[in-house]
Structure 1
Amino acid sequence: MAADTLLNRTRLPRPDVSDQDAADVLREYFGLAGEIEELGSQQDRNFRITTETGRFVLKICQPEYGLAELEAQNAAMQHLSNRVADIRVPQPVPALSGQEIITVEINGQSYRARVLSYLDGEPLTQHKYLAPEVIAAFGELAAKTAKGLSDFRHPGLVREIQWDLRRAGPVALHLLKSISDQERRDTIAKAMIVTVKRLQPLTSQLRVQAVHHDITDDNIVSHHSEHGRLIPDSVIDFGDVMEGWLVAELAVTCAALLHHADGDPFVILPAVKAFHQHYPLTEPELKALWPLIVARAGILVASSEQQLSIDPDNDYVLGNAAHEREIFAVVTSVPFSLMETAILDAAGFELGPIETVISGPLLPSLAPSDIRLTDLSSTSAEFVEDNWADREIDWKALARAASDTGTASTRYGEYRLSYTRLRAPQPPATFALHVDICLIGGTEAIAPFDATVLRDGHHVILVGKDLSIHVDGIDCEIEEGGTVAAGDRLGQIAGPVGGIGGLRLQLCRDIDLVPPLFAKPQHAHVWQMLCPSPAVVLGFPVEAPAPETAALLAKRQQNFAASQKHYYGHPPQFERGWKEHMFSVEGRAYLDMVNNVTILGHGHPRLSAAIGRQWSMLNTNSRFHYAAVAEFSERLASLAPDGLDTVFLVNSGSEAVDLALRLAWAHTGHRNILSLLEAYHGWTVASDAVSTSIADNPNALETRPGWVRPVLSPNTYRGRFRGEDTTADYVAAVAQKLAEIEAVGEGLAGFIAESVYGNAGGIVLPKGYLSEVYARVRDRGGLCIADEVQIGYGRLGHHFWGFEHQGVIPDIITVAKGMGNGHPLGAVITRRDIADSLEREGYFFSSSGGSPVSSAVGMTVLDVMADEQLQENARTVGDHLKYRLEGLIDQFPIVGAVHGMGLYLGLEFVRNRQTLEPATQETTAICNRLLDLGVIMQPTGDHLNVLKIKPPLCLSIESADFFVDMLEKVLLEGW
């Protein structure tokens, strides 16, 4: 086929065919009738018809596409269907004449027409986010398709189309003529020139075979997996099938994935790895991959521009144009060498050794013993409170170190906390690819290898054979473009002789690249290969130790009991926090929306000071006489309703609940305890016994001891009775249980319940429920226990205690978690006569409950809560947060309800709002996606389908908005 035919094809409009024309063709030539809907295409017309016997696709194209080409497409589908069992592909449907491809006349024009079977499912074009597992499935599907076509032969495969990446250069030059935007045209042209230059040495080594050449998010049909994700399993649209480069198959797929990259080209790596695993590529093919991806992006943008110039009403092209420009923006945002290295690394290939010979150190007068390395990591003692946010903190720390020793250096390969960013949906660049050195001005600098000297102001680059050194802070004596031999003098450190000077030093294996000073954590491994440690030219180590996150997790799993679970399958390692933020060892800030233990927030300086002061004076057990325990007990009693004047101090909420149950038994002389289904109260034998949450214990309902009497959960959202006016129904369920106890002649010890249904997701109990239940329990001599461990202590904002919302006063209050801000501290508050009942069975003692340090912690927490008005903040921010969360209900069908109040909220996800089928797997996936976006969130409830929203009470409006914004992003883009 002549080249001018190829270029003429690029100017073809779509056939002039209406829905009615399509219906006529289907009825007359194929005997099909039904509902017609046009599908998108760049140069064809495609129509879906729904008939009583099934759905089909009518494809109509210009006659310039030869019969052999269309026959090759049909034959490729049949071939692939026979070769690969786990990939679905369309199949040709013969016309009434028996032919698979016919010529039709429409409006005086001749076109070619054929019908294919229709594959049900959903394309992924509109799903902005694709999980790594989905991206890997793309690569696997592309590999299996290519492998299935590897032995396919047909005369119609030898064709010239604009999408053939072997002809990307001339096609791009032709298409660029139609782009009126000069800047865009120049950008595409420059990218294509570099692409062709990098491809030329490789083309002879690239394998040629039959390829689909269009496995994109438009042309893959997907079905939902167990996480509510779409997993590719079918390939459609064989319109570009041809004989071409094997690696181009993967390039086309990867280019399409970059529309889902959120700016990060590394998202393609799971697809590369999966393709290579199923259909191995050679090293030249892997090196050609990124240039081909760039070429594909350039052709996409240029082709759309040209097509719109001749067919401006093509909605398909209009819809894809923005995606294609985004793809092109992503491919041109990173250097070729970075992506080549990343692709080779993903496929298991290593970079070759550095050939530049380094003969000596850059600063020969410096000895390793002269250098003091500063620590700027997340665990550094340099960081106090929030001084990491000081933009000059690195230099200040470096200067302090240099003032002690005369010479100090930052560390290469360190994740610096000072470069973190709060409320950032993407990890900031925190990984240092360079070092900064404070040293004596006038120190001599020597060339460590033969090099050409390039200069850009004060920035000096020494370019060797395959290694360059980027230096700032040297008074270089070599002119621009001059050469130096190894050992020659370069100059001296800038600054007054004998004073402190500064040097910035960085290496790079791409001699044409000026690398960034920092890399994002997810890119650090690859950048580290491109920008090795400056130690090689300094002659002494300057590397920071790499975080041992994976090794520490393995050690945890080896020595830490398996029943003590951790959040997330691949959890970040946290070693520092501040207010409502936690920082990973990779320097990323995460918004902590689940940590109700730290009620004040992380790293509070007043609490740290109080603990340190008290511990430096005295810490012992409460059997000794000291002021703190008396003062703290008095403070707690003053917070409780009148009459609840006696305090027990313990170590945890589980112990508090356990003790409350013992008090009820001792005071009443009976054992039976009413507890609510779906509840969680703790891990001790007694507190676990009254816990019935099947999320925490799948066998909970079958393993309760006989003295536990579970009653119907008053879950007004998904319980047996739904809605606000259900109090009488749920109280009747309690009355029935009480009658059962009386029927066997047994007494009642008490009733325990969270005042707001915390474990179920913060569900507010029906109005008047506790008042009615408390009255019935007390009529039978039982005690009423309010478990405030999770929902009390100001967290509800509108009330200090949860039971205040129900207008009741319990006999016993249990509290823990927030009252110690993470320090092991819990309490039971009750009446004196109830407390005295326990003494008949012996005395009570808790080793660290009420210790001087614990009491100091408890009083400081209360002081800070009052001074910083944290309960008021919980009300204000919590109301705002709930309002914003409720706004998601109308946008997203998966959002079923918002529960709770203040800063104890639950967002429940359902698959169906009528049946309330819980979206359990989706909730887990949403939490994982939120972690990617910098938000810590976990599921709760019996079905683990409720977001457990209980952040530190210092949560700001900005952080609350960031959380909802990120959640909305997940729900919009996918998980």
Structure 2
Amino acid sequence: MPLSTLLQRSSLPNPVLDPLQAESLLRRHYGLHGTLKSLGSQQDLNLRLDTGQARYVLKVCHASYAEQELHAQHAALAHLRAHGLPVPAVLPAVDGSTLLSIEADGQPLRARLLDYIEGQPLGELQHLPTRLIAELGALCGRVDLALAEFHHPGLQRTLQWDPRHAVALIEHLLPALPDAERQAQVRQVCAAAAERLQALAEHLPLQAVHLDITDDNTVWARDEQRQWQLQGVIDFSDLLHTWRIAELSITCAGLLHQLPDDPLRIASAVRAYHAVNPLHEAELRALWPLIVLRAGVLVLSSAHHLQHDPHNAYIRANLDCEWGIFDVAAAAPAALMEAAFLEAGDCSPLALPLDGCTPLLPALAAQPPRGVDLGVLSPHCEAGNWQQADFDRQVLEAQPGAACTLHGQYRLSQTHIDRADEPATCALGVQLKLAPGSALVAPLEGIWQRHDEGQGCLRMASCTLWIIGLQQAPAEGQRLAQGDALGSSSGWLTVQLCRAAELRPPFFAKPSEAPAWLALCPSPGALLGIACEAPPLVDAQALLARRDASFARSQKHYYQQPPHIERGWRNYLIDMHGRSYLDMLNNVAVLGHGHPRMAAESARQWSLLNTNSRFHYAAIAEFSERLLALAPPGFDRVFLVNSGTEANDLAIRLAWAYSGGRDLLSVLEAYHGWSVATDAISTSIADNPQALQTRPNWVHAVEAPNTFRGRYRGADSAAHYLRDVDAKLAMLDAQGRQLAGFICEPVYGNAGGIALPRGYLQQAYAKVRERGGVCIADEVQVGYGRLGEYFWGFEEQGVVPDIITMAKGMGNGQPLGAVITRREIAEALEAEGYFFSSAGGSPVSCRIGLAVLEVMEDEQLVQNAREVGGYFKARLQGLVDKHPLAGAVHGSGFYLGLELVRDRITQEPASGETHQLCERLRELGIFMQPTGDYLNILKIKPPMVTTRASVDYFVDCVDRILGEGL
């Protein structure tokens, strides 16, 4: 079909079929009737029919579409269904035909009826996860793989979307743009893309392709976990025999409107396609020019169509989106996008032809510079000093003699905190400390181009050499022969190579973009005559596989694809690429990560002694005395153990020994530990799905006094919940069984820090003590100052327990737990023998425990928990006031919970949404995990050094995500 005919057909307005005509057609030819709804289309008429039992799509097009073209689409649908791909089926009319030729108001038309696939397009999402980008790419690969063997005469047609006609079509349609500036921009951008494509065209394989697998032409639905799952591929009107890579180019171009600030994310689609259907190098190189040309055709085609059909709302609504695609395509560096696609397709860049070059700095041959490690684990980085301005330069200047940084290293100094954007940490060049006046010479022939005072580039045949810190530089435009003088160093020199002559590369790249940038900016070591490459990082995926191969599977890790974390500082955890994540869930590290006092105390005590508590040393007495000073009057005995599990296990033994009974009351929805005894009293089904079916007969779980989600709501519901306590006690009385005790978190930690009903513990404790039982306060999670308003959780209820258990933050990560009780309870255990914990109360643990308390006091961390925690809760309450999904805020201080519900009346837990929220927070640089029996509560328990700035960052990110929709 000639171009003029093609444009004439593409300029036709949409077919017109009024509702009565459509209803008549459906009744007469298909025996169907129901309600009709118009669906958008650029050139066809699409009507959804709802019969009450099923849904269908009536597709009507102009008769200028040859029957053979439409039959090709039907055959392709059947072919793909046979290959297991989710595409609609064509429904035959009552006479058996799949294609009708009709006339409406003098218009010759063609009509057919297809299945309607339920779901929604991804184009409606405000945030497109990388997983879905990859799934779209993989889908393209699967469709192309299936269509590779599909042939039909109806595929041999001329179509405006065929990229083989893009250059001619763009030139023809440019006058449709009334804006001369826009017209010039489209011409320039598309001409550059066409030039890159020209040499590759003959190497691109041809086959049948769908040619419109976009976020709008795929239908998706959420599963029970709120994950989007593909339902089907629709709209085969662009089916064609053309370049195979055209398919992926259409998909990637369509994605750009959702990735305005990060077009390199489409490389995920390329990588996924390549894994399913391997691409040739020529296709990978042609992909970006094809994307750019597609963007040009989109805006010009819509502008042209609106000239002929100015009332087409579908096209007009899409035009802004199409200009968004074009603007992203125009702004992204073509060389960088090509490098990203080549890397995604496993194509390594060719080595630069630098053999035989003259060393840039001849003096380095005699005295090679010292390579300085500035990575995440650098010994030069300690106690947050990397946050100082010019930290890297300070480290280099402190080195004796010449020194240089390492190419490709992810530098800790480039991290940033409380920001959602990924920091640019990967060094694409090197910086050198040299003797001032060190001579530089041209490594190869080139032309000098000055960019600013002391900096410029030498444009050589195969690459460009960028230099900063140059004195006596050549004149602008001067051609230099190999070995000619290039100037001298000021003493601090930056050197960087770039393959793309048109680019001024950044010196640091984001980790996600680093592979592409490193392909463009290889190491300058060959020009310097030294080895200046950073050692490769450990492959995080391979390391995870090693963990999974050797570490027991029941010991889970956060996230399916967890970041590789080896460093922390204050309330941040830092991955090996130098990204700092806000730690909002680590209640063990009360002082924060990497605290210098902890390092000093540990190192000193280890250098002196570490042994078990049966030896005599001062630290154990000092620490025990300090703990007793924190406890209520009457508490005079301490046991030191290694964890909260051990503390609660020991508390159970103490209750058994003191009471003479075995039966314990515990509270539903609670978690107390992993040992046999503490697991027995733990009833959280989130931690153990079989918890309620596997309790031994000495454990009696009472109804959870959950004032938000429980059977009785509100702070004054204690009497209702105590009825179940009475019932369990009456049962034990009737059976003549001696009660051992009652264990309860004074604040419901596992449910996100929910306060117990007023007076609940006062009355429950009294009932237990009447029967000779002891009352155990499990303060492992909620105690030790974390609540801000109270040092111990039981203070909120105005009670004093008989046994206090604690752990978590006591050692800021050092294994350390404790049980505090009265002498008569402690000594009751002696009848069963002595108690001993090999490492419990070791000198190292005791010294660290003392230091934690001292730092908490010196840095006023309980006060910080009270003040910043109060601010935190108020900001979270603002989310509840704004977003229906945010159901309630629980807790106080730095033990808070944000409970997500789908309905505030029924309080249906939003478990899937909570999971998605946590995943999205990780993408934005925040670690958060769900808790509660339904895993629908954000368990917010950060280090107690958390600042208001971090609180604002966290709450703003949650607000952003809830606004995007989950």
CA distance in 2, matches of 1:586, 1:82: 44
CA distance in 2, matches of 1:18, 1:481: 69
In the other structure, the counterpart of 1:400 is: 398
Q: State yes or no: 1:751 paired with 2:747.
A: no
- Partners of 1:102 and 1:114 within 8 A in 2: no
Pair 1:854–1:198, CA change in 2 (3 A): same
Q: Judge which range, 36-45 or 554-563, deviates more.
A: 554-563
- 1:538 corresponds, among 528, 534, 539, to 528
CA distance in 2, matches of 1:745, 1:849: 37
In the other structure, the counterpart of 2:272 is: 274
Equivalent runs, 1:2-17 vs 2, <5 Å: 2-9=2-9, 11-15=11-15
Q: Judge which range, 891-900 or 754-763, deviates more.
A: 891-900
- SS of alignment partner, residue 125 of structure 1: helix
- Partners of 1:356 and 1:467 within 8 A in 2: no
In the other structure, the counterpart of 1:498 is: none
CA distance in 2, matches of 1:906, 1:81: 48
In the other structure, the counterpart of 2:284 is: 286
- SS of alignment partner, residue 434 of structure 2: strand
What is the one-letter code of the residue matched to 1:654?
Answer: T
Equivalent runs, 1:304-453 vs 2, <5 Å: 304-307=302-305, 314-367=312-365, 370-401=368-399, 404-405=400-401, 407-453=402-448
What is the one-letter code of the residue matched to 2:701?
Answer: P
What is the one-letter code of the residue matched to 1:906?
Answer: G
- Pairwise CA distance, 1:366: 0.9
Equivalent runs, 1:440-519 vs 2, <5 Å: 440-457=435-452, 458-475=454-471, 478-486=474-482, 488-495=483-490, 501-519=491-509
In the other structure, the counterpart of 2:723 is: 732
Q: State yes or no: 1:953 paired with 2:940.
A: no
CA distance in 1, matches of 2:271, 2:593: 40
- SS of alignment partner, residue 746 of structure 1: coil
In the other structure, the counterpart of 1:602 is: 593
- Partners of 1:673 and 1:748 within 8 A in 2: yes
- SS of alignment partner, residue 376 of structure 1: coil
Q: What root-mean-square deviation, in Å, do the aligned CA atoms of Structure 1 and Structure 2 show?
A: 3.3
- Pairwise CA distance, 1:586: 0.7
- 2:814 corresponds, among 816, 819, 823, to 823
In the other structure, the counterpart of 2:101 is: 102
Pair 1:577–1:26, CA change in 2 (3 A): same
In the other structure, the counterpart of 1:774 is: 765
Q: State yes or no: 1:67 paired with 2:66.
A: yes
In the other structure, the counterpart of 1:650 is: 641
CA distance in 2, matches of 1:619, 1:253: 62
What is the one-letter code of the residue matched to 2:679?
Answer: D
TM-score by length of 2: 0.91
- SS of alignment partner, residue 428 of structure 1: coil
- 1:565 corresponds, among 548, 556, 562, to 556
What is the one-letter code of the residue matched to 1:56?
Answer: Y
Residues 492-543 of structure 1: per-residue CA shift (max 9 Å, x gap)? 3233xxxxx1221112233443322111112222322222212122222112
Equivalent runs, 1:80-99 vs 2, <5 Å: 80-81=79-80, 83-91=82-90, 94=93
In the other structure, the counterpart of 1:547 is: 537
In the other structure, the counterpart of 1:574 is: 565
- Pairwise CA distance, 1:297: 2.1
Q: Judge which range, 625-634 or 281-290, deviates more.
A: 625-634
Q: Judge which range, 241-250 or 964-973, deviates more.
A: 964-973
Pair 1:533–1:17, CA change in 2 (3 A): same
- Partners of 1:76 and 1:149 within 8 A in 2: no
CA distance in 2, matches of 1:523, 1:968: 27
Q: For structure 2, which runs of at least 5 residues remain unmatched after alignment? A: none
- Pairwise CA distance, 1:400: 1.4
- Partners of 1:445 and 1:491 within 8 A in 2: yes
- Partners of 1:9 and 1:161 within 8 A in 2: no
CA distance in 2, matches of 1:967, 1:375: 36
- Pairwise CA distance, 1:78: 4.3
CA distance in 2, matches of 1:78, 1:411: 54
What is the one-letter code of the residue matched to 1:442?
Answer: G
Pair 1:534–1:226, CA change in 2 (3 A): farther
Pair 1:504–1:908, CA change in 2 (3 A): same
- SS of alignment partner, residue 375 of structure 1: coil
CA distance in 2, matches of 1:117, 1:823: 62
- SS of alignment partner, residue 244 of structure 1: strand
Residues 742-761 of structure 1: per-residue CA shift (max 9 Å, x gap)? 33322111111111221233
Q: State yes or no: 1:247 paired with 2:242.
A: no
CA distance in 1, matches of 2:149, 2:640: 77
CA distance in 1, matches of 2:954, 2:790: 24
What is the one-letter code of the residue matched to 2:137?
Answer: G
What is the one-letter code of the residue matched to 2:742?
Answer: F
In the other structure, the counterpart of 2:187 is: 189
- Pairwise CA distance, 1:204: 1.8
CA distance in 2, matches of 1:92, 1:202: 42
Residues 607-634 of structure 1: per-residue CA shift (max 9 Å, x gap)? 5555556666776665666665555444
In the other structure, the counterpart of 1:36 is: 36
Q: State yes or no: 1:583 paired with 2:579.
A: no
In the other structure, the counterpart of 1:50 is: 50
Q: Judge which range, 617-626 or 592-601, deviates more.
A: 617-626
CA distance in 1, matches of 2:390, 2:779: 44
CA distance in 2, matches of 1:20, 1:867: 81
Q: For structure 1, which runs of at least 5 residues remain unmatched after alignment? A: 496-500
CA distance in 2, matches of 1:302, 1:865: 65
Residues 527-560 of structure 1: per-residue CA shift (max 9 Å, x gap)? 2222221212222211222222535445545665
Q: State yes or no: 1:683 paired with 2:674.
A: yes
CA distance in 2, matches of 1:263, 1:47: 36
Q: Judge which range, 536-545 or 307-316, deviates more.
A: 307-316
CA distance in 2, matches of 1:307, 1:49: 28
In the other structure, the counterpart of 2:826 is: 835
CA distance in 1, matches of 2:890, 2:728: 27
In the other structure, the counterpart of 2:255 is: 257
Residues 837-866 of structure 1: per-residue CA shift (max 9 Å, x gap)? 334545545555555554443344334434
- Partners of 1:646 and 1:832 within 8 A in 2: yes
- Pairwise CA distance, 1:952: 1.4
- Pairwise CA distance, 1:79: 4.0
What is the one-letter code of the residue matched to 1:46?
Answer: N
What is the one-letter code of the residue matched to 1:531?
Answer: C
In the other structure, the counterpart of 1:520 is: 510
Residues 554-574 of structure 1: per-residue CA shift (max 9 Å, x gap)? 554566555443322332222
- Pairwise CA distance, 1:775: 1.5
CA distance in 2, matches of 1:641, 1:274: 61
Structure 1 vs Structure 2: percent identity of aligned residues? 50
- SS of alignment partner, residue 682 of structure 1: coil
Q: Judge which range, 679-688 or 427-436, deviates more.
A: 679-688
Q: Judge which range, 343-352 or 26-35, deviates more.
A: 26-35
CA distance in 1, matches of 2:154, 2:555: 62
Q: Judge which range, 908-917 or 185-194, deviates more.
A: 908-917
Residues 312-368 of structure 1: per-residue CA shift (max 9 Å, x gap)? 654433443443344334334432222223223322333334334333422222137
Pair 1:519–1:98, CA change in 2 (3 A): same
Equivalent runs, 1:656-675 vs 2, <5 Å: 656-675=647-666
What is the one-letter code of the residue matched to 1:831?
Answer: R
- Pairwise CA distance, 1:971: 4.2
Pair 1:97–1:835, CA change in 2 (3 A): closer
- SS of alignment partner, residue 398 of structure 2: helix
- SS of alignment partner, residue 424 of structure 1: coil
What is the one-letter code of the residue matched to 2:403?
Answer: A
In the other structure, the counterpart of 1:128 is: 126
- Pairwise CA distance, 1:790: 0.2
- Partners of 2:368 and 2:530 within 8 A in 1: no
CA distance in 2, matches of 1:373, 1:67: 69
CA distance in 1, matches of 2:209, 2:288: 18
Aligned residues: 964
TM-score by length of 1: 0.90
